[in-house]
Structure 1
């Protein structure tokens, strides 16, 4: 999207004379992009009721040019789409959708189908709920979510999809809650480049302290059977600055489940051990078992860090001192805390790009005011890469080259500033990602390797 609006000046040259409200180099998808939420659940396939090209654009950007993650069992080129045209705009697309759903059930094998709408059917008023209801009445596993692009971005769409599955598929429940079972609501699947590996690590950590974990998305999820058990969990864990809070509030009202909100996704020993102790306290499970796990993980972590200290002591004079993080709030906050508290780097500028709802922004800002006991920094919310890059150009990074934790959009900017770039978010088209994780004890070591390999190789 262009940042510049072309208008004819008084000489009729067509020269750019003003800035429009459009966004340059976008960093998220539309609400329909939450089809990735659906096919991030094993054996779940989305059905898209939208115009031609919508599915391809979302999957190409969010799943392909973002770590080249692939579409898995139910994504990418697998997604059925109605590809509606002018006829459906004039006469409605309900018949077309009904036809598509019938064909999908005949051809495709899945445990659950999620019908998702684009802008056209939401604008013309297709009664998608009524069409899907016909199949639900037959006992078929299908739900729907209205995800027209004007509803918001794929973060908004994500919670529309999760609530649709909970309300239309998981259903009601009045039974007891099972102690020691937790539902995890954290990173946005596919949009977060490293979500697969990160969720595996989150599950490993929580199981290590004695919990049974419904991780819900990715290869460690049990699929729809795990979603069916959401209603029996003792509590919900929201591990992000804001994403998942709406879902957790909904589950609290629906099933009476309490939830624990921890805004910072843990990277490194300090944050990870603190995170685990908070969860253990909230769950009321065996602290002795948890402490043994934490002690063992910390021991291994600091042994590796001790090995790294030789390099750090030898090359500290040539390493960056200041950094900037540009990306969604989950990784932005997590990275900032780790880089300050574990590596001793100085935050120069932090910019959050996913446009969080206004009601959460003050709480997010407050987290940055308490990055460390003696470190406070500001955070800005900005979606337009043109504006973001101007802000970074005008940032004081001191006399050493900066290190920027950002996206592919920042590669040329880093070269311009004679700095270093580590791609940590959407879009990341210079990373091929399978199971890499940057969180927890193990992920922090991987992140340190990535940071300093980038610096050393660029300096050669």
Structure 2
């Protein structure tokens, strides 16, 4: 059973629509300083946290450990230094304590990049973190800082703050040529998305197969800070997902004059992945015969392999269709929610029962996100709800009509008991995923879609046994 922290229960919800309350039960994200995991996702980068005792440990345990048991990596987990600010720092400030920590950290830790992140205590008392970090930067230390107090928002917000801090303070200004075919990818939130490592690997693999050079920036396929230094040299940026990364891409557009391509739906399966690659190719202006031949040859090879596996899968699907779920619900962050909904409707012919987004997207993106669901397929339109509180989410699901067959719920550990109550199957696809050990698994692209199909129908067959 997961031990991710929860808050007190909220008042009962009697309506099917979301209802604002004063607290959140069973949280589905971290606070802004949880972006320390974004730093840890950069090879040979180490976060330094200036916060109260336990803050960084809770972020790691929630986002990385009890979420697929992903591990701490080179600079996360128990490696990340922290000031463990106490009452003394509340009264007298913690600038000196932070300076001492950075100095000692530089003596015993090897890293290509350090990033200081602040918690609520220093942000509330007004510690001037910039004045602490700047002298180290002037000495040539590869270090940046971001103010990520919890009241700034969740770890999605913190992620954008951290990426901008690294770009402005470490990557810096650039005047020079662009590298033809080089792209920067801004997509899934590291560690929070349980399958981010495998997914980013598949994104990079498919883009490279189509003929591009890729700065994937996070995870085992990234070359670390050298990729970050190469950000300004990229021909353009790709934002893959409904909204996360758009703020970064817009900043890069202003800072380096880089255009960006926004693809709101993560590609799952051959149809979506092929469409994604051709969209990128068209945006890049690939028109030469050789470049288009490379692209189409890669697509043909991948589709041939994909549909051969799918052909074999249809034997199972045709035999057991009567016992398989017809309706589904997706509860999770907007990137996976949208992508899964589109795949399940278009590839498997399932009927959307309920879609609930939990990552609290900024209001400016919500109408556009709703529009994606209203055009989920040529003949299928559905609505999406935005809700963060698990109590309210579960009340909504209890009141949803899933028909005469048990539903399949794509959710989190928080939905396991509810799935049993509804006599349905649960596929954990988001934070927290506490009943899965995840190493390199992917659910997107050509290869990830096959893994997803295996997971879905192994789960549903097992649930009916």
TM category (shorter chain) comes to over 0.9
Tell me which of 361, 368, 392 is aligned to 2:366: 361
Once the two structures are superposed, the pairs formed by residues 344-355 of structure 1 within 5 Å of their partners are 344-355=349-360
CA distance in 1, matches of 2:223, 2:151: 33
Q: For residue 4 of structure 1, report the CA deviation from its aligned partner.
A: 3.2
1:313 matches 2:318: yes
**Larger RCO (alpha carbons 8 Å, 6+ apart):** 2
Residue pair 1:51, 1:85 contacting (<8 A) in 2 also: yes
1:4 matches 2:10: yes
1:302 matches 2:307: yes
CA distance in 2, matches of 1:326, 1:457: 21
Distance 1:270 1:19, change over 3 A: closer
Q: TM-score, normalised by structure 2?
A: 0.96
Once the two structures are superposed, the pairs formed by residues 118-197 of structure 1 within 5 Å of their partners are 118-197=119-198
Cα shift readout 1:3-48 (whole Å, capped 9, x = no counterpart) = 3379xxxxxxxxxxx9951100000000000000101000000000
Residue pair 1:3, 1:21 contacting (<8 A) in 2 also: no
CA distance in 1, matches of 2:464, 2:364: 43
3-state secondary structure, aligned to 2:439: coil
Residue pair 1:36, 1:190 contacting (<8 A) in 2 also: yes
What's the counterpart of residue 256 of structure 1?
257
Cα shift readout 1:334-385 (whole Å, capped 9, x = no counterpart) = 0000000000000000000000000000110000011000000000000000
What's the counterpart of residue 33 of structure 2?
32
Residue pair 1:3, 1:19 contacting (<8 A) in 2 also: no
What's the counterpart of residue 87 of structure 2?
86
Residue pair 2:10, 2:391 contacting (<8 A) in 1 also: no
Query: Which ranges of 4 or more aligned residues in structure 1 deviate by more than 4 Å?
Result: none
CA distance in 2, matches of 1:222, 1:48: 24
CA distance in 1, matches of 2:269, 2:319: 22
Residue pair 1:159, 1:247 contacting (<8 A) in 2 also: yes
* Runs of 5+ consecutive residues of structure 2 not aligned to the other structure: 1-6, 13-18
* Runs of 5+ consecutive residues of structure 1 not aligned to the other structure: 7-17
What's the counterpart of residue 440 of structure 2?
435
3-state secondary structure, aligned to 1:4: coil
Once the two structures are superposed, the pairs formed by residues 228-307 of structure 1 within 5 Å of their partners are 228-285=229-286, 286-307=291-312
CA distance in 2, matches of 1:186, 1:420: 28
Residue pair 2:33, 2:155 contacting (<8 A) in 1 also: yes
1:375 matches 2:380: yes
CA distance in 2, matches of 1:418, 1:68: 27
CA distance in 2, matches of 1:229, 1:19: 44
Cα shift readout 1:139-194 (whole Å, capped 9, x = no counterpart) = 11110000000000000000000000000000101212111000000000000000
Q: For residue 288 of structure 1, report the CA deviation from its aligned partner.
A: 1.9
What's the counterpart of residue 13 of structure 1?
none
**Aligned-CA RMSD value:** 1.1
CA distance in 1, matches of 2:61, 2:31: 13
1:58 matches 2:59: yes
What's the counterpart of residue 337 of structure 2?
332
Once the two structures are superposed, the pairs formed by residues 94-133 of structure 1 within 5 Å of their partners are 94-133=95-134
Q: TM-score, normalised by structure 1?
A: 0.97
